[in-house]
A and B are shown apart, each in its own frame.
Chain A
Amino acid sequence: MLQINNVSKFYGDYIALDDISFSIPKGAVFGLLGPNGAGKTSLIRILNQIVLADKGKVLLDGEELNESHISQIGYLPEERGLYKSMKVGEQAMYLARLKGMSKEDAKEKLLVWFEKFGITDWWDKKIQELSKGMAQKVQFIVTVLHEPKLLIFDEPFSGFDPVNAELIANEILELKEKGATIIFSTHRMESVEKMCDYIVLIHKSKKILEGNLVELQKKYRTYLFEIGIKTEYGDKLKKELSLDYQIKDANFQTLHNDVRLMVQLKEAQSSEALLEKIKTLGSVTHFLEQIPTMNSIFMNAVSNQFVNN
């Protein structure tokens, strides 16, 4: 649905984006990840036509980005807010109409959303009379009101309280079901990895990794297993295991007061063999392959890139 081809952006001598390419399939939840200052916001601003790319092209549904796409994109910026002294309803109408909705259409859809969030009686209140959480709901509604095909959330959960964050997350997933494509951009990688199907990692203006999240996790598999065993002979257990495997003490949480270890497998070694082995040494209460977090994948990829260069 969205194709980004060799996009670069410069601010004077500073390179904000360096030859970035990737594509986002329709209906995907896509994570645009990277530390602060990596270039995520620059890229998103290009997608929203707030700034223009100095090089490269962006295609939306095969068509180069143009003004008609504005109404097809919903954008929740990281720096977000509303006119403080304007009334909620009036403001929502204004923002909706700037996205190209007609007066009647905007009003009708707004009432549906206001109903859904139970905020109908806020229509004539000023934003400054609302609490921060309330204002966030309004902000979310104006982002998605025009039913965009592409939704872009920059640091979506920063500033949202947990209740609202949950509410918003559910709404986003519902929009995905309805066919919207969603981009999350964040430096807090753990906050979105559960929701994303695809990710791109950007670091220092360059793309360093992209792909299906599960495949990436497989690729960056660590072969580390957490095991918990109930036994009276802890020392003997460790001794046995260290013959074949690399082990160290671990500190994950279990319900039992048992021996907890972290076992590093070599690629040739199978997890079944490990399980068989520990079964003979006590009763197994915990057996889990560690899934690499986005953080660790990121660290890994960055150091790999460093080695490769």
Chain B
Amino acid sequence: MEKLKLIIKREFLTKVRNKSFIILTFLSPFLVIGMGLLIAYLTKVNESSVKQIVIVDNSQLAISKDFISSETVQYINLTQVGLEQCKVLVEEDKYDGLLFLPSGYKNLRELSESIEFYSVDAPNLMLVKSIESKIANRLKFSHLEAIGIQQQIIKIASYQVSIHQINFSGGESSKLGSGIKIGLGMVAGYLIMMFIVVYGNSVMRSVIEEKTSRIIEVIISSVKPFQLLMGKIIGNALAGLLQFFIWGVLILVFSYAASFFLGIDFMTIQSNQIVDAKVSVSADNLNEIIMVVREILDLPLITMFFLFIFYFISGFFLYSSIYAAIGAAVDSETDTQQFMLPVVIPLILGVYVGFAAVISDPHGPVATTFSIIPFTSPIVMMMRIPFGVSWYEIVISMFVLVATFIGIVYVAAKIYKIGILMYGKKPSYKDLYKWLKY
């Protein structure tokens, strides 16, 4: 044990004292916060640039009444100017678009199929959708009026539906809330993937370094190869956790400082970083904000924190022992390529499955399966947890993961033990299999 401690200490210090570690640790939070602010800023800029849309309405339906200018779009009725003139104006970039409703239609259906929109650049999809729905609404009204139903009655008969999402543990959730859940899950899963790759590589490089500097035999005449392997993995895992910890503290401190000094609402920044920047919180939805805050507080944050640590450590053990075995098998980093692919594929798969399956259906069969498979579970399960995963699924997933990493560490240690003393020929998979039997 004493020796294991010494090895862990050396590996940890070597990693932590490394310049790239220090730079990455202290620079990344600035980058993340900077990116967040940049996105928030760009969104603002985007919103503040007003689009001017010209309407030429020959339809006699007085459709322009329904087009009320907003903060982002300004509608100008230029029916008097005429289509040809307006086309020129739009082409000269005086306006951003031209909506044209023709006259001389036989019925409303024919009109609905002959409306045109002119613009220099392809218009943004959201805008077109909103124009389409406005016109459709107008046409519906006209149609109903024509068959004698009063506009007043139609208005009364229109309902706004806003579904309240409630789960069985009694929590109410909002759409923004599930956005935050997705965001948190994504961040956690993605972080685990990144750390496994970065720190796994660092374990591998450290093994290769010991081989190429020829110190390995000196070391293993004092300690067992397994101790050395474990020391390396644990030392690097601790360095990784330290990095997480520093980031956590820094982000909290900076966010707090920013909200304090700049008067920016803390929650807005948080949600801007985590959630898609398009989701903007407007003052009208105070209710919704309160709900979101409550939801974040309702999230099993402490459980998430511990599960994150668990999945990070277990996933890291699993993968870094494979990385170490690869490092032991080869003589230089350039020889590692052929062995890297099988390691990286499940990691990437985990992230893609997470992005695709978890968002669309966090408890569907694909997401569930991949959160049990040990090679993807650290990533996929972390993405699912914010949506609430039943405890027995978590237990199964944890159990399978631990059982697998013990098995993999055992196999990897065997390859490692033989590999570190082998120089020269680059081994094939067949050679590795043979080593297992020594």
Question: Which residues of chain A come closer than 8 Å to B215, judged between CB atoms?
Answer: 80-83
- B366 contacts chain A at the CB level, 8 A cutoff: no
State whether B217 touches A98 (Cβ < 8 A): no
Smallest CB gap from B213: residue in A? A81
Measured CB to CB, the residues of A under 8 A from B are: 11-12, 45, 48-50, 70, 73, 75, 77, 79-86, 94-95, 97-100, 139, 142
Question: Which residues of chain B come closer than 8 Å to A81, judged between CB atoms?
Answer: 213-215, 218
Choose one: A70, A83, A85, A94; the contact of B221 (CB below 8 Å): A70
Smallest CB gap from A94: residue in B? B10
- The contact sample of 8 A-B pairs, CB cut-off 8 A, is A12-B434, A45-B421, A81-B215, A82-B215, A85-B14, A97-B6, A99-B222, A100-B2
- B3 contacts chain A at the CB level, 8 A cutoff: yes
Q: How far is the CA of A98 from the CA of B437 in the complex (A)?
A: 29
B351 CB to closest chain A CB (Å) equals 33
Question: Which residues of chain A come closer than 8 Å to B260, judged between CB atoms?
Answer: none
Apart from the given pairs A49-B221, A50-B220, A70-B221, 13 other A-B contacts in the complex at a CB distance below 8 Å? A11-B438, A48-B221, A50-B217, A75-B218, A77-B217, A77-B218, A79-B214, A84-B213, A97-B6, A98-B6, A98-B222, A99-B222, A100-B2
With contacts A12-B438, A50-B221 taken as known, whether A82 is within 8 angstroms of B213 at the C-beta atoms is yes
Q: How far is the CA of A100 from the CA of B6 in the complex (A)?
A: 10
With contacts A12-B437, A83-B213, A86-B14 taken as known, whether A98 is within 8 angstroms of B423 at the C-beta atoms is no
With contacts A70-B222, A86-B14 taken as known, whether A80 is within 8 angstroms of B217 at the C-beta atoms is yes
Q: How far is the CA of A83 from the CA of B209 in the complex (A)?
A: 8
B118 CB to closest chain A CB (Å) equals 66
- B223 contacts chain A at the CB level, 8 A cutoff: yes
Interface of B is mostly: helix
A9 CB to closest chain B CB (Å) equals 10
Interface of A is mostly: loop
Question: Which residues of chain A come closer than 8 Å to B222, judged between CB atoms?
Answer: 70, 95, 98-99
- B219 contacts chain A at the CB level, 8 A cutoff: yes
A39 CB to closest chain B CB (Å) equals 14
Query: 3 smallest A-B Cβ distances: which pairs?
Result: A81-B214, A77-B217, A98-B222
State whether B218 touches A80 (Cβ < 8 A): yes
Interface centre among B217, B218, B222 (most CB of A within 10 A): B222
Q: How far is the CA of A83 from the CA of B232 in the complex (A)?
A: 14
Smallest CB gap from A146: residue in B? B222
B19 CB to closest chain A CB (Å) equals 11
Q: B214-247 interface mask toward A, CB cutoff 8 Å, 1 = contact, 0 = none?
A: 1111111111010000000000000000000000
Interface centre among A11, A49, A83, A98 (most CB of B within 10 A): A98
| Beta-carbon contacts under 8 Å, B410-435 to A | 421, 423, 434
State whether B217 touches A94 (Cβ < 8 A): no
Smallest CB gap from A97: residue in B? B6
Choose one: A77, A79, A94; the contact of B6 (CB below 8 Å): A94
Q: How far is the CA of A48 from the CA of B216 in the complex (A)?
A: 13
Q: B180-214 interface mask toward A, CB cutoff 8 Å, 1 = contact, 0 = none?
A: 00000000000000000000000000000110011
Question: Which residues of chain A come closer than 8 Å to B225, judged between CB atoms?
Answer: 50
A268 CB to closest chain B CB (Å) equals 52
Interface centre among A50, A73, A86 (most CB of B within 10 A): A50
B320 CB to closest chain A CB (Å) equals 20
Smallest CB gap from A142: residue in B? B218
Question: Which residues of chain A come closer than 8 Å to B14, judged between CB atoms?
Answer: 85-86
State whether B223 touches A98 (Cβ < 8 A): yes
Q: How far is the CA of A85 from the CA of B438 in the complex (A)?
A: 33
Q: How far is the CA of A280 from the CA of B220 in the complex (A)?
A: 66
Q: How far is the CA of A98 from the CA of B223 in the complex (A)?
A: 7
A87 CB to closest chain B CB (Å) equals 11
B234 CB to closest chain A CB (Å) equals 16
Question: Which residues of chain B come closer than 8 Å to A85, judged between CB atoms?
Answer: 14
Question: Which residues of chain A come closer than 8 Å to B421, judged between CB atoms?
Answer: 45, 50
State whether B213 touches A73 (Cβ < 8 A): no
Question: Which residues of chain A come closer than 8 Å to B223, judged between CB atoms?
Answer: 98
Question: Which residues of chain B come closer than 8 Å to A94, judged between CB atoms?
Answer: 6, 10
B128 CB to closest chain A CB (Å) equals 60
Q: How far is the CA of A97 from the CA of B438 in the complex (A)?
A: 30
Smallest CB gap from B420: residue in A? A50
Q: How far is the CA of A97 from the CA of B3 in the complex (A)?
A: 8
| Beta-carbon contacts under 8 Å, B1-31 to A | 2-3, 6-7, 10, 14
Question: Which residues of chain A come closer than 8 Å to B216, judged between CB atoms?
Answer: 79
Q: How far is the CA of A83 from the CA of B214 in the complex (A)?
A: 9
Q: How far is the CA of A83 from the CA of B10 in the complex (A)?
A: 11
Question: Which residues of chain B come closer than 8 Å to A48, judged between CB atoms?
Answer: 221
B396 CB to closest chain A CB (Å) equals 38
Interface centre among A73, A83, A99 (most CB of B within 10 A): A83
State whether A75 touches B221 (Cβ < 8 A): yes
State whether A80 touches B3 (Cβ < 8 A): no
A109 CB to closest chain B CB (Å) equals 16
Question: Which residues of chain A come closer than 8 Å to B218, judged between CB atoms?
Answer: 75, 77, 80-82, 95, 139, 142
Question: Which residues of chain B come closer than 8 Å to A70, judged between CB atoms?
Answer: 221-222
Question: Which residues of chain B come closer than 8 Å to A97, judged between CB atoms?
Answer: 6
Q: How far is the CA of A139 from the CA of B213 in the complex (A)?
A: 12
State whether B221 touches A77 (Cβ < 8 A): yes
Q: How far is the CA of A6 from the CA of B14 in the complex (A)?
A: 43
Question: Which residues of chain A come closer than 8 Å to B209, judged between CB atoms?
Answer: 83-84
